[in-house]
Chain A
Amino acid sequence: MLWSNNDQNDNKRAETKKTDKLYSIAVLLEELKSEDLHIRLCSIQKISVIALAVGHVRTRTELIPFLSEITDEEDEITLVLAEELGKFVDFVGGNEYSHTILPPLTKLARAEETVVREKSVESIKIISKAMDKNQIQTYLFPVIKDLANGKWFSSRSSACGLFSICYKSVDKSSKEELLLLFRELCNDKTPMVRREAAKELAELAPIVEEENLKKIIIPLLIQLSEDEQDSVRILTIDNCISVSKLINKDEFITYIIPTLQNCAADRSWRVRHLVANKFYQVSESVDPEIVKENLLEIFIDLLSDNEEEVRVSGTARISDFSKQIKEYQETISDVIFPIIEQLSQDSSKKVKVSLASVITLMAPIIGNQMSIEKLIPICLDLLQQDISEVKLSIISKLESLSKVVSEEILINTLLPVLIDLIKDPKWRVRCAVVDYIPKLGIQLGVDFFNEKIIELYITWLQDAIFKIRETAAKNLIQLTKEFGSDWCTYNLLPHIFKLLKNPNYKIKQIAMYSLSLLAPELEIDIISDKMIPKLTVLQNNKTPNVKLYLAKCLHELIPYTEETNIQEEIIPCLTDLLNDDDQDVSTFAKIALDEIN
């Protein structure tokens, strides 16, 4: 039996540990022979513990080889094994031994089941980070060659994922070999392998030398973009994004633009769908001039695509794309806005919902004037089309718009529309308006709020739907922070105290909730002199729900109340509630009293 270095000091301790270690591996062996899948699964989940127990040397010499033998187990087991092995670098004794974990992982990388081999490749990537150049050259490189020349597509697929982690660390002739191998895999007869190779291309491109980028990688990119399988072609856009960052303007126009044109017109809608989604990322890597001259028309075509899903995903990126040509305001006005108008009348509801989610984000890009002339009319039209998801989307993102346009426009154009939407039949739309109005109110200033909005706001605190009442109450904090605690004391609190007397217990509750939320923002004497007395009278209310809430509310207010008030008013009140018949009132009173003591 081998002893690990740690234990040689203490014989007796070592003796027990020796038995433990023997015991652990023995137990593992036993459990792994069990017929019950669940037991085998549990024991595999614990192999890190066992590795820790047996120590570095025995993990390398006994545990790892043992685990290599059980790689043809059930998929549930091998999946967990693949994952656990990725954590083994420390258990085998650190970086210098990390390559010893490769054998079982290599075997698992040949597995038929996709998730298992994907997890193995992931784990190989993790442990390779711990390897130095020598280890990679000596141990990882042969593994990749081996897998890449495997008989079954499963091992060749796995090989694809390992090129980028290996390339930098090997010598020149090995690099050449790797690129040759990679080219073979891109030409593999099975589409699954070509697909994995296409995925890896984006990772490999930034790593290879400039010469190889142009000689090998870009031609492969173009070749794969013309593959007969759409599952391979669909990866073109990611590869274009990756390569665009590495080449100059002329190369971009020569190689990438034609490729993009082709995949934006691909016969498979899934390819076009992904292109529409990620197109803006290509434009991030090139000059705005090229975006305007070459990329814009491709994007516009995608927005007019026949397939609804393509239009939906393209529309969702309009603001992201427009940001790239921010300096060409005229182009945005003359080319992009006509398309936006067209999309706002699209036959598909999904497209309109997608448009609604980004349209207000155009405002900061185009500025006040164009927002008023072009953007607001479209927004108003969309709001009037009576699609609730559209309304919800626009209202929840109105801040982007309102920060750009003038106050006049806000008051005369937007506000009336919003007030109208307060009566919308869908409660979530009403709730979105209630959530937005405070932000608008803050922008328009305290006088405007007091004059035009506050009365309306108080009615929202009494809405029949709980969530709306709650939203209105929560936004009171923001308003008080902006307008000040004096404003709150003189303008808001009188209304809330009135609500405390409302016969409906739910209104009383929301009033109490509001007070507990506002307390941190208010002067201590306001709380002690004004708030507490108005609250404690509620202890005589007949409804248990009111008393229960009162106990909760007082509990929240304790940190903000003067000691004398706590002793003279709150504690007697809570003590009274403690003796209430209703179990829940009593429970909450007790919680509050416990906190005081």
Chain B
Amino acid sequence: MNNTNDIDVILEQLFECSLPTESQIKYICFRARQIFIKESNTIFVPAPVTICGDVHGQFWDLKELFEIGGKPGETSYLFLGDFVDRGYYSIETFLLLLTLKVKYPDKMTLIRGNHESRQITQVYGFYDECMKKFGNSSVWRYCTEIFDYLSLSAIVENQIFCVHGGLSPKIDQINQIRLIDRKTEVPHEGAMCDMLWSDPDETTKEWEINPRGAGFNFGKLVVEKFNKINSLKIIARAHQLCQDGFQYSFDKKLVTVWSAPNYFYRCANKASVMIVNNELDHSFKVFEAAPPEKRNVKHRKTTSIYFL
């Protein structure tokens, strides 16, 4: 992998799952920061758009997603966070999405998930992957710094509210989100934390403690009120595994989208993307993990791994 900072060259190599150099990663993070800085806490996204849930470092399944949904740049994508951890290619996956953001700023929208955090990535694999592939923590630092700039939510044509986790008792109206200072590590509590950690619960009436230890469980009344006050058609979120790729809740007032098939390479679940057309109708395209012969890494140096 040569060391050019040409975005097209870097993109071509990332599409082949070739690891960028440390300086290239630093450069892409720098370019991406300039774009993220201008985005508000709730990004306005025009229709048509394809909404995708958690990807978790499953690079080849992300490529499968693009084969199904269309080429990034030609098709608009909105990713709901959780790009890293658990999969074997968190770096390549996140950098591909980030470089696509730099190349097609209006056709690629990325918002923050609860795994885009210094604390979480040290436990669930991203930090270890950076150490293994680069021998030091610089890349992890560049990425976790850029995580702080990621927006918290998005809204498609004022009708579909998109967030990684869910709702917060502190937020009734969407424009309250604007008041949050998001350029920080994910806090342990508060509105920003809730948005990235909360889960819908059909058995809950309004708010309950979330067994995850962060965010809340929210119920039907909360969702109905939120959708009504904010004139929403539906809430789209991710954060929870769906065996069939997607799952409606509360009479289709909320939907969970999950885009990591065969999650953790063992759950045998399907994945999906939510396709929103110009008229704001949506449908789901369900897909499975890419077959073994497509999961092929070509340019890997093997000497360093051999002597471990």
Whether A560 sits at the interface, judged by CB under 8 Å, is: no
Given contacts A76-B303, A545-B74, contact A505 B68 (CB under 8 A): no
Assembly CA distance A548 to B75 (angstroms): 10
Closest to B69 in A: A466
Closest to B290 in A: A428
A-B contact pairs, 17 of them (CB 8 A): A79-B303, A115-B306, A389-B291, A428-B291, A466-B66, A466-B68, A466-B69, A467-B67, A503-B278, A509-B70, A544-B76, A545-B74, A545-B76, A545-B107, A582-B106, A584-B73, A584-B106
Whether B125 sits at the interface, judged by CB under 8 Å, is: no
- Name the one of B70, B71, B104, B278 contacting A584, with C-beta atoms under 8 angstroms: B104
Whether B23 sits at the interface, judged by CB under 8 Å, is: no
Closest to B307 in A: A76
Q: Which residues of B contact A542 (CB under 8 A)?
A: 278
In the assembled complex, how far is the CB of residue B96 from the closest CB belonging to chain A, in whole angstroms?
A: 17
Whether B46 sits at the interface, judged by CB under 8 Å, is: yes
In the A-B complex, list the 3 residue pairs whose CB atoms are closest, starting with the nearest: A466-B70, A467-B67, A583-B106
Whether A504 sits at the interface, judged by CB under 8 Å, is: yes
Closest to A586 in B: B106
* B278 & A505 in contact (Cβ 8 Å cutoff): yes
- Name the one of B46, B68, B70, B303 contacting A427, with C-beta atoms under 8 angstroms: B68
Whether B105 sits at the interface, judged by CB under 8 Å, is: yes
A-B contact count (CB 8 A): 55
Q: Which residues of A contact B67 (CB under 8 A)?
A: 465-467
In the assembled complex, how far is the CB of residue A242 from the closest CB belonging to chain B, in whole angstroms?
A: 30
* B107 & A464 in contact (Cβ 8 Å cutoff): no
Whether B122 sits at the interface, judged by CB under 8 Å, is: no
In chain B between 283 and 302, which residues have their CB closer than 8 angstroms to a CB of chain A? 285, 287, 291
In chain A between 566 and 597, which residues have their CB closer than 8 angstroms to a CB of chain B? 582-584
Q: Which residues of B contact A76 (CB under 8 A)?
A: 303, 307
- Name the one of A428, A548, A549, A583 contacting B105, with C-beta atoms under 8 angstroms: A583
Report whether over half of chain A's contact residues are helix, strand or loop; otherwise say mixed: helix
Whether B48 sits at the interface, judged by CB under 8 Å, is: yes
* A467 & B68 in contact (Cβ 8 Å cutoff): yes
Assembly CA distance A466 to B77 (angstroms): 14
* A544 & B46 in contact (Cβ 8 Å cutoff): yes
In the assembled complex, how far is the CB of residue B77 from the closest CB belonging to chain A, in whole angstroms?
A: 11
Q: Which residues of B contact A556 (CB under 8 A)?
A: none
Interface residues of B (CB under 8 A from A): 46, 48, 66-71, 73-76, 104-107, 277-278, 285, 287, 291, 303, 306-307
Assembly CA distance A389 to B278 (angstroms): 37
* A506 & B303 in contact (Cβ 8 Å cutoff): no
Closest to A585 in B: B106
Interface residues of A (CB under 8 A from B): 75-76, 79, 115, 389, 427-428, 464-467, 503-506, 509, 542-545, 548-549, 582-584
Q: Which residues of B contact A75 (CB under 8 A)?
A: 307
16 further A-B contacts with Cβ under 8 Å, apart from A76-B307, A467-B68, A583-B106, are A389-B291, A428-B291, A465-B68, A466-B66, A466-B67, A466-B75, A503-B278, A504-B277, A505-B48, A509-B70, A509-B74, A542-B278, A543-B278, A545-B75, A545-B107, A584-B105
Q: Which residues of A contact B69 (CB under 8 A)?
A: 466
Assembly CA distance A467 to B66 (angstroms): 9
Q: Which residues of B contact A506 (CB under 8 A)?
A: 70, 75
Closest to B35 in A: A583
In the assembled complex, how far is the CB of residue A458 from the closest CB belonging to chain B, in whole angstroms?
A: 19
Q: Which residues of A contact B291 (CB under 8 A)?
A: 389, 428
Q: Which residues of B contact A503 (CB under 8 A)?
A: 278
Q: Which residues of B contact A584 (CB under 8 A)?
A: 73, 104-107
Q: Which residues of A contact B277 (CB under 8 A)?
A: 504-505
Q: Which residues of B contact A544 (CB under 8 A)?
A: 46, 76, 106-107
Assembly CA distance A544 to B46 (angstroms): 9
* B48 & A545 in contact (Cβ 8 Å cutoff): yes
Assembly CA distance A75 to B75 (angstroms): 49
Assembly CA distance A584 to B106 (angstroms): 6
In the assembled complex, how far is the CB of residue B76 from the closest CB belonging to chain A, in whole angstroms?
A: 6
Assembly CA distance A467 to B71 (angstroms): 9
In the assembled complex, how far is the CB of residue A280 from the closest CB belonging to chain B, in whole angstroms?
A: 24
In the assembled complex, how far is the CB of residue A330 from the closest CB belonging to chain B, in whole angstroms?
A: 38
In the assembled complex, how far is the CB of residue A587 from the closest CB belonging to chain B, in whole angstroms?
A: 8
* A548 & B303 in contact (Cβ 8 Å cutoff): no
Q: Which residues of A contact B73 (CB under 8 A)?
A: 548, 584
Assembly CA distance A509 to B73 (angstroms): 12
Closest to B46 in A: A544
In the assembled complex, how far is the CB of residue A464 from the closest CB belonging to chain B, in whole angstroms?
A: 6
Assembly CA distance A544 to B74 (angstroms): 9
Q: Which residues of A contact B278 (CB under 8 A)?
A: 503, 505, 542-543
* A548 & B285 in contact (Cβ 8 Å cutoff): no
Assembly CA distance A505 to B278 (angstroms): 8
Assembly CA distance A75 to B307 (angstroms): 8
Assembly CA distance A583 to B103 (angstroms): 10
Q: Which residues of B contact A509 (CB under 8 A)?
A: 70, 74
Q: Which residues of A contact B46 (CB under 8 A)?
A: 544
Q: Which residues of B contact A583 (CB under 8 A)?
A: 105-106
Assembly CA distance A503 to B278 (angstroms): 9
Assembly CA distance A36 to B85 (angstroms): 31
Q: Which residues of A contact B66 (CB under 8 A)?
A: 466
In the assembled complex, how far is the CB of residue A545 from the closest CB belonging to chain B, in whole angstroms?
A: 6
In the assembled complex, how far is the CB of residue A269 from the closest CB belonging to chain B, in whole angstroms?
A: 22
* A543 & B106 in contact (Cβ 8 Å cutoff): no
- Name the one of A389, A427, A464, A549 contacting B74, with C-beta atoms under 8 angstroms: A549
Assembly CA distance A503 to B281 (angstroms): 13
Assembly CA distance A79 to B107 (angstroms): 47
Assembly CA distance A544 to B303 (angstroms): 47
Assembly CA distance A465 to B48 (angstroms): 16
Closest to B66 in A: A466
Closest to A80 in B: B303
* A466 & B71 in contact (Cβ 8 Å cutoff): yes
Closest to B47 in A: A543
In the assembled complex, how far is the CB of residue A462 from the closest CB belonging to chain B, in whole angstroms?
A: 13
In the assembled complex, how far is the CB of residue B105 from the closest CB belonging to chain A, in whole angstroms?
A: 5
